[in-house]
């Protein structure tokens, strides 16, 4: 595994294929950018993720948010470490319809056993915020 200083988007993209369940992989997430403790994923719009009115369902957005935070933690730690979501609190600000989402996860604080983070989800086409989330992970 690479160190945080040398971690690249290509490595995180490969981790999406290697670590996550097939149904998460079917979301088609792509790593747009990464840094120390921060990752942005693109969630492509798909009719399979849409509900009435072409709105992307909240379940897909939360799955993308949770996945982005795992990769943000990896970008900080530079290693695969067992972890689990303890809390994921979301506020949906407006519907996302007919366009991709950009999901940016940032570590706020990383301790020995807990990691706290924030996630912003914006519409890729117009940059408007659609969801904000806060999260806590336990490092196992």
pLDDT means per 10 residues in the chain (140 residues)? Answer: 65 94 96 97 96 94 98 90 96 97 98 97 97 98
pLDDT of residue 8: 87
pTM: 0.93
Q: Which residue has the tokens 């290509």?
A: 10
Distance CA(131)–CA(120), nearest Å, equals: 6
Measured CA distances, 121 to 30, 66, 70, 108 (Å): 14, 12, 15, 16
Beta strands 101-110; 83-92: pairing state: unpaired
Provide the token pair at 87. 């809390």
* Token pair of 45 as six digits: 């719009």
């Amino acid at each position: 595994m690479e160190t945080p200083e040398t971690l690249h988007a290509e490595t995180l993209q490969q981790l999406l294929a290697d670590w996550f369940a097939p149904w998460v992989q079917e979301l088609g997430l792509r790593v747009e950018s990464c840094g120390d403790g921060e990752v942005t994923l693109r969630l492509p719009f798909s009719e399979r993720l849409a509900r009435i009115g072409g709105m992307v369902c909240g379940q897909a957005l939360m799955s993308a948010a949770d996945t982005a935070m795992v990769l943000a933690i990896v970008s900080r730690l530079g290693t695969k470490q067992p972890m689990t979501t303890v809390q994921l609190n979301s506020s949906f600000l407006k519907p996302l319809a007919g366009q991709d989402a950009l999901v940016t996860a940032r570590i706020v604080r990383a301790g020995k056993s807990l990691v706290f983070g924030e996630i912003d989800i914006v519409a890729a086409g117009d940059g408007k915020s659609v969801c904000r989330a806060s999260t806590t992970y336990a490092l196992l």
